[in-house]
């Protein structure tokens, strides 16, 4: 074989080897791409499964919170209760699923017992104490039957516990439907107001300090009479401090004005008038605190 032929064969051999290597690389690259694609599909499938699981858990949590919020509302008692010429309407609106503001409405020995309160904080932490505090109020009232004695006992119970219950304010009243007399005690809550039929105002502030602050705190009862056409209005500060888009507070003046426009129509109408006014005032501005409102109204003669 000539030298030229040997060179030509060598060149062809190298070329064949390069082609084989190129084909091998293409094959390897194709298999690698397929493996990458398969891995990506597997990864995406795994992520979709994880996302579906998270969505399911999120839906379960939302349902659980909704059910807890419904239970809270039921524990507050009826939204509207009428006895003779008296009507009581209550409502709570949590800002974060569960409410730290609360109302309570029940009967004892023929009288109507009503309360409105505010547990410090909001959302789940405050809402978790909701049931405990309402339970204490009902338990102690069944033993004492007197607002001031009840709140003093509740305060002692809170002081004895090591659970770290947040501070709470509470207005507790007892209405005698036969006479219209209200015996009440205000434990650090914004004073309830009496809106007289002649449009005069009286605040109900007699009581004592916030619950859970002082171990030896003393509480006193106040007295008031609901005459025909009079209304008692109790509220939480989430209503009066609700802000609109320019940072203005709803204020006590607006709350009283909204209540007075519906005073001739009963407790439920007054309550809806007040809540509608604060919602219209806030507009699209997000609420920052829970709402609670209680209205006790005596029909005009």
What digits encode the pLDDT tens for the residues 70-110? Answer: 777 777 789 999 999 999 999 998 877 777 889 999 999 99
Among candidate residues 237, 238, 240, the one with its CA nearest the CA of residue 257: 240
What secondary structure does DSSP assign to 77-103, as a single string?
Answer: --SEEEETTEEEEEEEE-SBSB-SEEE
Sheet holding 291-298, edge to edge: 80-83, 86-93, 291-298, 231-235, 192-195, 201-204
Q: In this structure, are 46 and 117 located in the same domain?
A: no
Q: In this structure, are 263 and 172 located in the same domain?
A: yes
Q: Is the dihedral of CA 246, 252, 253, 254 positive or negative?
A: positive
Q: In this structure, are 98 and 9 located in the same domain?
A: no
Q: In this structure, are 285 and 212 located in the same domain?
A: yes
Q: In this structure, are 15 and 164 located in the same domain?
A: no
Boundary-marking domain end, from 21, 42, 68: 68
Predicted confidence at residue 23, as pLDDT, reads: 47
Query: The domain that contains 259 carries what CATH number?
Result: 3.60.40.10
- 76/116 Cα distance (integer angstroms): 9
Q: Which domain holds residue 17?
A: 1-68
Boundary-marking domain end, from 26, 46, 68: 68
Across the chain, mean pLDDT equals 85
CB 188 within 8 A of CB 256: no
Q: In this structure, are 246 and 165 located in the same domain?
A: yes
Q: What is the DSSP letter of 285?
A: S
pTM for the full model? 0.80
Q: In this structure, are 30 and 48 located in the same domain?
A: yes
Boundary-marking domain end, from 16, 46, 68: 68
Q: In this structure, are 137 and 180 located in the same domain?
A: yes
Q: In this structure, are 53 and 88 located in the same domain?
A: no
Q: What is the pLDDT of residues 209-255, one digit of tens each?
A: 999 888 889 999 999 999 999 999 999 999 999 999 999 999 999 99
Question: Phi then psi for 113, rounded to 5 degrees?
Answer: -105, 130
- The structural domain count of the chain equals 2
Higher per-residue confidence, 28 vs 192: 192
């Amino acid at each position: 074989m000539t030298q030229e032929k040997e060179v030509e064969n060598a060149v062809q051999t190298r070329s064949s080897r390069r082609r084989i290597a190129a084909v091998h690389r293409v094959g390897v690259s194709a298999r690698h791409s397929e493996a990458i694609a398969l891995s990506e599909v597997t990864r995406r499938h795994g992520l979709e499964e994880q996302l579906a699981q998270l969505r399911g858990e999120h839906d379960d949590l939302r349902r659980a919170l909704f059910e807890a919020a419904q239970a809270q509302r039921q524990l507050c008692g009826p939204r509207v209760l009428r006895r003779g010429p008296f009507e009581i309407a209550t409502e709570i609106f949590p800002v974060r699923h569960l409410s730290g503001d609360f109302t309570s409405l029940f009967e004892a020995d023929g009288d109507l017992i009503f309360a409105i309160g505010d547990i410090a904080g909001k959302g789940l932490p405050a809402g978790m104490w909701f049931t405990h505090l309402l339970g204490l109020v009902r338990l102690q009232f069944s033993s004492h039957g007197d607002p001031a004695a009840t709140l003093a006992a509740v305060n002692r119970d809170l002081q004895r516990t090591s659970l770290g219950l947040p501070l709470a304010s509470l207005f507790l009243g007892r209405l005698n439907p036969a006479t219209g007399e209200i015996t009440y005690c205000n434990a650090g809550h914004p004073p309830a107001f009496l809106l007289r039929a002649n449009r005069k105002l009286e605040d109900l502030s007699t009581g004592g300090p916030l619950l859970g602050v002082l171990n030896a705190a003393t509480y006193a009862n106040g007295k008031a009479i609901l005459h025909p056409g009079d209304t008692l209005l109790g509220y939480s500060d989430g209503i009066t401090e609700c802000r609109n888009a320019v940072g203005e507070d709803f204020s006590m003046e607006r709350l009283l004005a909204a209540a007075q426009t519906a005073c001739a129509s009963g407790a439920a109408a007054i309550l809806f008038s007040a809540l509608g006014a604060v919602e219209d005032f806030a507009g699209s501005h997000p609420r920052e605190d829970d709402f609670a409102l209680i209205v006790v109204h005596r029909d005009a003669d």
